[in-house]
Amino acid sequence: MTDSGDQVNKPMHPAAASSQPFQVADIRPTERLFEDSEGRDRLEKAVSRYPEKRAALLPMLGYAQERNGWVSDESMEEIADALDLTPAYVRSVATFYTMYHKHPVGRHLIQVCTCISCHLLEAEEVFERFLAETGTRAGEISADGKYTVIEAECLGACGFATAVQVNDRYFENVTPDQVPAILDELD
């Protein structure tokens, strides 16, 4: 987690409501978003930062994923209702962005950058190694529910190829040989 220690016990500052990590390992079971004080607080704080309610859409899609691990149709409807949008509109936006999962993923979402700079430095081999070690095909959830491995477009760590992102963590300068150690570290 990137929350610094002294922030943990304080109520969330409204300025921080639109930048919480939404690819997290501790997935709670799918539940309603805005029926408890935590959800209502996040909604209210995010909405307070923009002149239009609609602008809180990305933060709320992120919140749905932060809470449930993915963005379900039910969450989209709930968000639509909260922000006076149509569910269709929310879906249109949610499907535009690649980081919102419209289906559940493994507890560890392993994204291997295979874009140009990483591609030049063994990224495909790293990707294949992750698939082999987790026994999955690209995009599927491993039998134990732990892993989903996908290729990612540029992760913005080109000088540290190959870049791998696991949930909200970056692993850099990854070589195929390091893959087993990274998987060990995840548990």
Pairing state of beta strands 169-171 and 147-152?
unpaired
Tell how many helices (H) and how many strands (E) occur in the chain. 7, 4
| Residue 57 interacting with another protein (CB under 8 A) | yes
Measured from the CB atom, the residue of 92 and 144 that comes closer to another protein is 92
Question: What is the token pair recorded at 3?
Answer: 């929350």
- The smaller minimum CB distance to another protein, of residues 110 and 135, is found at 110
- Asked if residue 21 binds another protein (CB under 8 A), the reply is yes
Q: 99 vs 140, which CB is nearer to another protein? A: 99
Query: 43: which 2 tokens?
Result: 């909604």
Told to check if 64 binds another protein by CB under 8 A, we report: no
Q: What phi and psi values does residue 148 have, to the nearest 5 degrees?
A: -130, 130
According to the binding rule CB under 8 A, does residue 75 interact with another protein?
A: no
For the record, the structure tokens of 70 come out as 């993915």
Task: Classify the C-alpha dihedral 68-73-75-79 as positive or negative.
Answer: positive
Binding site for another protein (CB under 8 A): 1-4, 7, 13, 15-16, 18-23, 49-52, 54-59, 61-62, 73, 76-77, 83, 85-93, 95-100, 114-117, 119-121, 152-161, 165, 168-170, 172
